[in-house]
Chains A and B, each alone.
Chain A
Amino acid sequence: MNGTADGGRRGDVLVVGGGISGIQAALDLATSGYRVFLVEKSPTIGGKMAQLDKTFPTNDCSMCIESPKFIECDRHPNIEILTCTEVERVEGEPGDFHVTLVRKPRYVRADRCSGCTTCVSYCPVQVPDPFNRHLSMSKAIHIYFAQAIPLVPYIDDRCLYLRERKCRICEAVCEKNAIDFNQRPERVEVTVGAVVLCPGYEVFDPRLRGDYGYGRFANVVTSLDFERLLCATGPHEGEILRPSDGRRPHRIAWIHCVGSRQVLPGGNSYCSAVCCSYTQKQVILAKDHDPDVRCAIFHNDIRSYGKDFERFYRRAEQLPGVRFIRGYASVGGEIPETRNVTIRYATNDQGVREEEFDLVVLSVGLQPPPDARRLAETFGIELEGHGFCRTDQRDPTRTSRPGIFVGGAFQGPLDIPESVFTAGAAGARCGELLARRRGRLARERVYPPERDVSGEEPRVGVYVCRCGANIGRVVDVPSTVRYALTLPDVVHAEESVFICSTEAAQKLATSIREKGLNRVVVAACTPRTHEPLFRDTLREAGINQYFFDMANIREHCSWVHSREKERATRKARDIIRMSVARARRLESLPEYRLPVNKKALVLGAGLAGMTAALGIAGQGHEVHLVEREAELGGMARRLRRTLEGLDVQALVRDLAGRVYRNPSIHVHAEAVVLNATGYVGDFRTTVKSRGRVLELRHGVTVIATGADEYRPTEYLYGTDERVLTQLELEQRIAGGDPRVDACRALVMIQCVGCRDAERTYCARICCSHAVKNAIEIKERNPKTAVYILFRDMRTYGFREDAYYEACDRGVHFVRYEPENGPRVEAVEEEGRPVLRVTVADPILGHPLAIDADLLVLSAAVAPAAGTRDVGRLFKVTTNADGFFQEAHVKLRPVDFAAEGVFLCGMAHYPKHIAEAIGQAVGAAGRAVTLLSQDTVVASGSVCTVRESDCVACGACIAACTYGAVEFCETPHGRAARVNPVLCKGDGLCNTKCPTGAISLHHYSDEHILGQIGALASEPETAASRGTTTASAHVDRP
């Protein structure tokens, strides 16, 4: 396909980097009708997230939540994944970029490899495993990790043949002739309309400065090394063993801010934003692995500024045997006999101490990807001062070159959800640019028509997978296949080495057609990952996808009973017998295709809401923008400029102007939502705006209702006019209030109304807000003494630089403990009325009294007043703090669990303007992904009511909090009826129905009891029942 007349392969978007952000951008774009090249330089997609053990603050298994996205990418007809590939040259302009890619040799042909890994077991060359951070050994030919996409080994340059032209054992043992040492780097030309850069980040390498003993002392590891040690797929199967002697450490220390917040050569001045929370996660997990382990965390400010982070911090802090020690720490040395490591640290009360640990973990920061400079040159984009991508505050997805967008941690240090929504946002910007060509290059899967099997007897085919040796080594597969043939209605059974390989899936489809099967059982791995693949295969074979069942004989059998072959084989038979019993009873189910109304409703016209509305309208959809106030702009109307110097009022005017001028956006100001019904694709919302009541119909809803500033009740606020909130101070500065400039001393108190018993969370933005206003005051009148009384300064990310600037300008930062917080009284000092602020300074060791002319409270950001009502109307939930709860903290940060409803801005959690905008663009992108579909598909596994059996007791209606069941009038009286679109298929109602009238398709009592019966009974055999035609098609492998 190379070098065709039109300059190479055509696509819409090039996504550079296959980590979680690249994956997200690619999936969103591909689903909304663009053809995507996903380019990754390593041998698999997955990125850093694949190396993490768990993710904070939920401790979700990182690989488990990420790997389904790999498969989704792999199977998407509009995504072409190019691994081992780098970008060499980019020419052209937005809408028409010519990109030269270089594919490095893998030396294994992906089109032939079955992933059996025989080559790996024969390879004689042991090399440190890069995936396990060199803490364990792998082979020169190996699969990067078990869930890699593509699941094909690659040959490392430490291969004997590549170095010395010897060996070639892999070539000899490969039955598929997939090894190809003749591969050379290959240039691939592609043309695309836009580019999304998601190259991610690199972790700081402490070896460079050499001051933490990393690389010299075996028992000093980085936090990413420690992730691998924690992980079940890591070097010691999840046992934490220290590198020097493989023993379990009993005392572990973490040192924070390694390579971050360091204004030294070789360090990074900014805060890496994620280390505090990931360290807490590692502490929790370490305690989980070994409850007796003692943990010490040497930290500076604890920056738990994200959603649910503060609670996570508390959880770690309150574990027994865990000490959080505030103070500067350095690695002393290694004790030669034990190879233990000493840490020297200073605390306020005890002075300098030295303590011994079995293992030291360095919480290393994030830095730009190693090839950032080359990327910048190749793509013609600018970098900012720290070497990350330079972006526009008004839109963090834009690089300095039009048509090239950036998502993920290349924007600066970000955590996973931010990476996901900024990548989605970058994708959405491509969508706006390319809206006219949407769908032109996209491919739809075409399936053959479905065969009607309703009149047929069940004809079950059983396919037993060996999964290489994974199943075959434990379970006697041939005898299991023979056994399957004796089961009722089974007309065909065979084994396969890897039933999930592309080749085997095709054979499966052919076999279904040729044998005339109408039910399929695949006995292999877990349906949680592979059911979609096989359902798809059934569709390819022309039968309904619900005629499929999976017998999990790997995760639930061969892998967990690997030493008991005979009993594992018996268990595999039982599992298959149950599965066949279920399959025989399965019914054909329609998936519901519901038309999508192409309009959106955006609730709230602050910066996030306006940005989301413009983003959706920019991709060609009409938007109803509903705002409570008369004017657009929300909270931003009270802000003057951002820490980075952006003029907020100009931004608000610009956005509002564009909103009003956009013919696709209908603004409903001074509006309240009276009622909301409907579901994804067809919402109906009744809105009253300026006396008129309208029913708006829309396919998606974006909730951007913002947040409120907490009104303090403490520190004389409301009783003394010299006590202000930060927002009020900012308005006074903006209004040129002379009292601010004349101020001799000004005190700011942080964490007012948050991080306390009532609001346990951190409001995220107040520290930066205080620093911004402090600098502003110092700029206007350097003589004003400014004090910031804080608990932890949480100027995360690049905002740390402003914290330094404030220090440089002479702003006094005084830390206080919450149990010994500041006291404020209005007094007269030398005839001058002042506010006397007294605070215990832990460093000075005695109370400090400051006579201030103004007291500024960094009041918390609180959930907007009507949040719960909005939640009830749109059937979405809030978290413990009263902010809206997204569908998944990490991977669905702007989606709600309720389909078709999206979330952005401060309604989600307090955030800075650029963050809110980024999230709003991301939410717009998710919304458009849905709006670009003509229909949405709802699962066929929904409930149904046999109306003649229904006694209208209402038990099912009471159980269904989705509101999917309602009464209706039938000729025989009242009966419950299920709206299949709202039914989520949990089946709770089934257990409430006294007459069994309501039944969940695909998980009916018939299915479940059939399985139980099959397990309980002596094996039912075809012979004993004498009903089927098994003998006609007995195929043996």
Chain B
Amino acid sequence: MTTATEFQPKLLGIACNWCCYGGADLCGVSRFQYAPYIRLLRVMCSGRVDFSHIFRAFAGGLDGVFVGGCHINDCHYVTQGNYDAYALFQTCRRILEHIGLDPERLRLEWVSAGEGVRFAEIMNDYGARMRKRGPLGKAEGLDDAELRLRLQAVLRIVPYLRLVQAQRLQAPARTEEDCYRYFRTETFDRLCRELVLDVVTSSRILLELGAGPLPAAALSERLGLGPSDLARHLKRSANLGLVRYDMNRGGYWAA
């Protein structure tokens, strides 16, 4: 029995037309039951899913985002967009973790149009986990304003994220094994850290400074960054001409 006061997660699902959406249909046809948390949105290919979709959903307060595509090498299109979906998922999960959100809130699964029961199983499992996890932000100990800022920091660099994602964060070869292996490598970790996570932090700094100058100590506290990490970010941003230090006023300014 569920009570009205119990937390009910609100989840978005983005499913590709040819496989996962079909699997969800078959699940319905077969009358497999699952918890009613998810609302599905149909795209033609899971490769259509973008940073903006995922982070706008979180920014809108949704508690989880599910992406469903065709099994690897079963893509309806010769473009094999599910490899791209997988790469995007890997990057997004790291971003979520980086900004203090549970990366499990983003889930990706391959569901064929014949896997109705699997769709139900995934939905039940995902739903239960998200219910246990609790509301977005609150469960992670973030207040609304802080959550918004953190997501904002990601959303404002989406064009940049698309660029590095397409150019630098793809698996070297489109085979199932290579793909899965690559995203567990040190190389990917490093690239992701340097090209994405650091930039998210810089973006956050710029957001903070957008409201007015801040001394390093205040920035350090707000961002939860140690002095050396903060110095690294500030230096990088200063080199890019994005921030400057105002000696007179003793704080950092957005340039």
A1009 and B52 contact, CB distance less than 8 A: yes
Question: Could you say which interface size class chain B belongs to?
Answer: 35 or more
B114 and A986 contact, CB distance less than 8 A: no
A686 interface hit (Cβ, 8 Å): no
Chain A residues positioned under 8 Å from B163 (CB to CB): 953, 955, 994
- Mark A864-889 against chain B: 1 for CB-CB distance below 8 A, else 0: 00000000000101000000000000
B49 and A991 contact, CB distance less than 8 A: yes
Chain B residues positioned under 8 Å from A959 (CB to CB): 79, 84, 166
B78 interface hit (Cβ, 8 Å): yes
B88 interface hit (Cβ, 8 Å): yes
How close is B143's CB to chain A, nearest CB, in angstroms?
Answer: 18
B48 and A877 contact, CB distance less than 8 A: no
Closest B residue to A232 by CB, please name it.
B30
B62 and A1015 contact, CB distance less than 8 A: yes
Alpha-carbon separation in the docked complex, A32 to B24 (Å): 35
How close is A576's CB to chain B, nearest CB, in angstroms?
Answer: 10
B121 interface hit (Cβ, 8 Å): no
Alpha-carbon separation in the docked complex, A559 to B53 (Å): 27
How close is A849's CB to chain B, nearest CB, in angstroms?
Answer: 45
Alpha-carbon separation in the docked complex, A941 to B32 (Å): 32
B36 and A571 contact, CB distance less than 8 A: yes
How close is A890's CB to chain B, nearest CB, in angstroms?
Answer: 13
Closest B residue to A941 by CB, please name it.
B44
A1012 and B53 contact, CB distance less than 8 A: yes
With an 8 Å Cβ cutoff, the count of chain A residues facing the other chain is 64
- Mark B62-105 against chain A: 1 for CB-CB distance below 8 A, else 0: 10000000000000111111001000100000000000000000
A984 interface hit (Cβ, 8 Å): yes
Chain A residues positioned under 8 Å from B31 (CB to CB): 237, 559-560, 562
A636 interface hit (Cβ, 8 Å): no
Which of B17, B41, B116 is A232 in contact with, Cβ under 8 Å? B116
Which of A560, A567, A995, A1000 is B120 in contact with, Cβ under 8 Å? A560
B187 interface hit (Cβ, 8 Å): no
How close is A550's CB to chain B, nearest CB, in angstroms?
Answer: 9
B28 and A560 contact, CB distance less than 8 A: yes
Residues of A874-923 at the interface with B, using a CB-CB cut-off of 8 Å, are 875, 877, 897
A556 interface hit (Cβ, 8 Å): yes
How close is B43's CB to chain A, nearest CB, in angstroms?
Answer: 6
Which of A958, A962, A992 is B78 in contact with, Cβ under 8 Å? A962
Alpha-carbon separation in the docked complex, A256 to B53 (Å): 53
B9 interface hit (Cβ, 8 Å): no
B162 and A238 contact, CB distance less than 8 A: no
Alpha-carbon separation in the docked complex, A131 to B163 (Å): 55
B47 and A1016 contact, CB distance less than 8 A: no
Chain A residues positioned under 8 Å from B61 (CB to CB): 1016
Alpha-carbon separation in the docked complex, A241 to B8 (Å): 36
A987 interface hit (Cβ, 8 Å): yes
Query: Known interface pairs A564-B36, A1016-B60. Does A988 touch B52 (Cβ–Cβ under 8 Å)?
Result: no
Chain A residues positioned under 8 Å from B182 (CB to CB): none
B43 and A988 contact, CB distance less than 8 A: no
Alpha-carbon separation in the docked complex, A993 to B34 (Å): 37
B25 interface hit (Cβ, 8 Å): yes
B81 and A986 contact, CB distance less than 8 A: yes
B160 interface hit (Cβ, 8 Å): yes
Alpha-carbon separation in the docked complex, A1017 to B29 (Å): 30
How close is A554's CB to chain B, nearest CB, in angstroms?
Answer: 6
B26 interface hit (Cβ, 8 Å): yes
Chain B residues positioned under 8 Å from A962 (CB to CB): 77-79
Query: Known interface pairs A560-B120, A986-B81, A1003-B43. Does A59 touch B162 (Cβ–Cβ under 8 Å)?
Result: no
Alpha-carbon separation in the docked complex, A54 to B112 (Å): 13
Residues of A529-561 at the interface with B, using a CB-CB cut-off of 8 Å, are 552, 554-557, 559-561
Which of A60, A557, A961 is B114 in contact with, Cβ under 8 Å? A60
Closest A residue to B47 by CB, please name it.
A988
Additional pairs, 11, CB under 8 Å, beyond known A559-B29, A1012-B62, A1015-B62: A237-B30, A528-B17, A552-B40, A560-B36, A958-B166, A961-B79, A986-B48, A986-B81, A988-B79, A994-B159, A1000-B44
Task: Provide a sorted-by-A list of 17 A–B residue pairs whose CB atoms are within 8 angstroms.
Answer: A526-B21, A555-B28, A557-B36, A574-B39, A575-B39, A941-B44, A953-B163, A955-B163, A987-B45, A988-B84, A991-B48, A991-B166, A994-B162, A1000-B48, A1008-B14, A1011-B41, A1012-B60
Show the binding face of A for B, using Cβ within 8 Å. Answer: 54, 59-61, 64, 232-233, 237-238, 526-528, 552, 554-557, 559-564, 567-568, 570-571, 574-575, 578, 875, 877, 897, 941, 953, 955, 958-962, 984-988, 990-996, 1000, 1003, 1005, 1008-1009, 1011-1013, 1015-1017
Show the binding face of B for A, using Cβ within 8 Å. Answer: 8, 10, 12, 14, 17, 21-22, 24-36, 39-45, 47-53, 56-57, 59-62, 76-81, 84, 88, 113-114, 116-117, 120, 159-160, 162-163, 165-167
List 3 A-B pairs, minimum CB-CB distance, nearest first: A1016-B60, A555-B28, A987-B48
